[in-house]
Structure 1
Amino acid sequence: MLNNRDCLIYLYEETRISRKKLHQLVGTGHRSYYHAIQSDALDLARFLSVKHRTLLAGALNNPARIARYTSLKRTYKTWTVLDADYPDVFRTIPDAPIVFYGLGDVDLLKTLKRISIIGSRQPTVNVKQRMSQLLLPLVSDYVIVSGLAKGIDSFAHQLACTNGGRTIGVIAGGFNHPYPYETRAQFHDMCRNQLVISEYPIDVKPERYHFPERNRLISALGFATCIIEAKRKSGTMITADQALEQGRIVMAVPGDILNPNTQGCHDLIQQGAKLVQNTQDIEEEWRENKVMWKSINNK
């Protein structure tokens, strides 16, 4: 029989049932999810169809699959919503991860000063210079969070790694399938020396819909999300919307008005995002919001 924590991980990995359904299972308060599913407890019918209940019961009635799960040698950290060390920042967002995984220095999730840096995968030529000027004064004090994509994400991680800083990468597939190819070496280095997290079991390949799911975790982890460059229609702009939905601060760096890569930033500034021209603008926002952010981190 699996305890509740193992039952959540097992069902998540083996059946790929939705986070919403598993959150509802947790919300029932059953002392044993295993027994509740096996006995087809009446309250499960409120949110699980017959098909879903049959799927879950079938997985729990499969000794070979359970044996494979219990014998798996995990070289990575696994968190569930039932764990005392599950990050409180995730508990504050809609559709929080029910299970997620980490490789590297897991204590980085306990660091208070974290800022999310996102932007275009195909940035303009001078963006590295602008990012260095803006972020280098921060890397000794802040954990830089980004998505390990090529372009601005990759350079944000690189700035931290090569200047004695700390960084967290959030990926859109399992650890056995780092993506994209261009950042694989960086992925492996960060798994050893920084932290990489994923919401997906290790053998799951990245899918298109995983990226907006991944992005909500990037924005959740930072006290603010700073957009360096973004087109009007882009994943970066979706992340900015997610940050606002989560009650996080959104910052944007202005640029050339003729550059399509900066149009998204200008739109955000017009809509009330913090205009970031220098490092002091970020530090000012931290000073004004650190008490609020501390309360979110220690719910």
Structure 2
Amino acid sequence: MQSIRDKLIYLHRCRGITRRIIRKILFHDPKLHQLYLLSSSQISQLYKLPIKNAALFYKDLHNNYLTEQIKYDREIYSIITIVDEDYPPVLKTIKDPPIVLYGAGNRSLLSHVPSLSVIGTRDPSNEAMTKIKYLTNPLLDKNWLIVSGMAKGIDSYAHIHALKNEGNTIAVLGGGFEHIYPKQNTALFKQIVEKGLVLSEYPPDIPPKKHHFPERNRIISGLSFGTLVIEATEKSGTLITVDQALDQGREVYAAPGSLMVPQTKGCHRMIQDGAKLTMDPDDILEDWKSIGRNLFYV
């Protein structure tokens, strides 16, 4: 008999449904037993699904073609579900927590504290790496974990710097492990797998799509005590992660810079809007001592 976690992994790959629908199913049928007794029209009616979606879901649910693929993926990657004991408790508290996560690398990093997400523009200035080194070196020395999205620019810089300093890092991807994006980060992906952890909400064979990246941002901020923005333009996609962090009750830090550099304008706007002006790593360390230890990780 399949366990609930096995059924969840299978449901997560079925077409025609979303995470919201899976949560509805779990609410109505916590043991995921009655679901298999329903017709497609009953599924459509009970879960307010268009009949076309319900038919597609029903077909996948009763066709075991996904089983072999899941079995193959399990041999290569970790699969973490929301019902597992080592599912990160900090993710359970966010809106729309991931139901299934795929991991490559050191799974124990999911329970590592403290952690900070370091993010920013894909087109950084010449000062960006200097800022990262200055603001994160004392954190890495104190065994902080760096979380980012392995995108071009600041994200990559953050991972590379953590690895070079023998620090811990987690990369959260916007696609499956068989479709590394950007391709130029394939070597970085392998390094993080070897020395850190790579996570994805998407099965390994799923290529990245535009809407995946804003989705994965909630996981980056959700895994972290706070989010540090190194550089961002005024209309940067980085601001999506900042919004997610604020919505999750996380701390938001912004590094200042020259008024003449467009990559700093987003940070300055964030500071005007209430992000913490971060001129020194102690700005983050003091918050951790006063806020994080007592309230964030209990």
Q: TM-score range by the shorter chain?
A: over 0.9
User: Is residue 147 of structure 2 the alignment partner of residue 145 of structure 1?
Assistant: yes
Shift of 1:73: 4.7
Q: How does 1:150-189 map to 2 (within 5 A)?
A: 150-189=152-191
TM-score by length of 2: 0.92
Alignment coverage as a number of residue pairs: 293
Structure 1 residues 230 and 117, CA gap change in structure 2 (3 angstroms)? same
Cα-to-partner distance string for 1:233-266 (whole Å, 9 max, x where unaligned): 1110111011001111101001111222111111
Paired position in structure 2 for 1:29:
29
**Residues in 1 aligned to 2:277 and 2:73: alpha-carbon distance in whole angstroms:** 47
Aligned-pair identity (%): 41
Quote the offset at 1:70 in angstroms.
Answer: 5.7
Give the Å deviation of 1:38: 2.8
Q: CA offset at residue 69 of structure 1?
A: 4.2
Deviates more, 1:214-223 or 1:38-47: 38-47
Question: How far 1:134 moved relative to its partner?
Answer: 1.4
Partner residue in 1 for 2:89: 88
Question: What SS does the corresponding residue of 2:232 show, helix, strand or coil?
Answer: coil
Q: Would the alpha carbon gap of residues 28 and 276 (structure 1) be closer, same or farther in structure 2, given more than 3 Å must change?
A: same
8 A Cα contact 2:81 2:99, kept in partner: yes
Could you state the TM-score of these two structures normalised by the residue count of structure 1?
A: 0.92
Following superposition, the deviation at residue 4 of structure 1 comes to 2.5
Report the secondary structure of 1:168's partner residue.
Answer: strand
Judging changes above 3 Å, is the alpha-carbon distance between structure 1 residues 51 and 2 closer, same or farther for their aligned structure 2 residues?
farther
| Structure 1: segments with no counterpart, 5+ residues | none
Task: State the match for 2:136 in structure 1.
Answer: 135
SS in structure 1 of the partner of residue 116 of structure 2 = strand
Q: Which moved more, 1:252-261 or 1:167-176?
A: 252-261
- 2:68 aligned with 1:68, yes or no? yes
Worse-matched range after superposition: 5-14 or 96-105: 5-14
Within the alignment, does 1:294 sit opposite 2:286 as a pair? no
Which segments of 5 or more consecutive residues in structure 2 lack a partner in the other structure? Answer: none
TM-aligned CA deviation for residue 275 of structure 1: 0.7
Q: CA RMSD in A?
A: 1.9
The 3-state SS of whatever aligns with 1:263 is: helix
Deviates more, 1:217-226 or 1:136-145: 136-145
Distance, in Å, in 2 between the alignment partners of 1:293 and 1:71 is 36
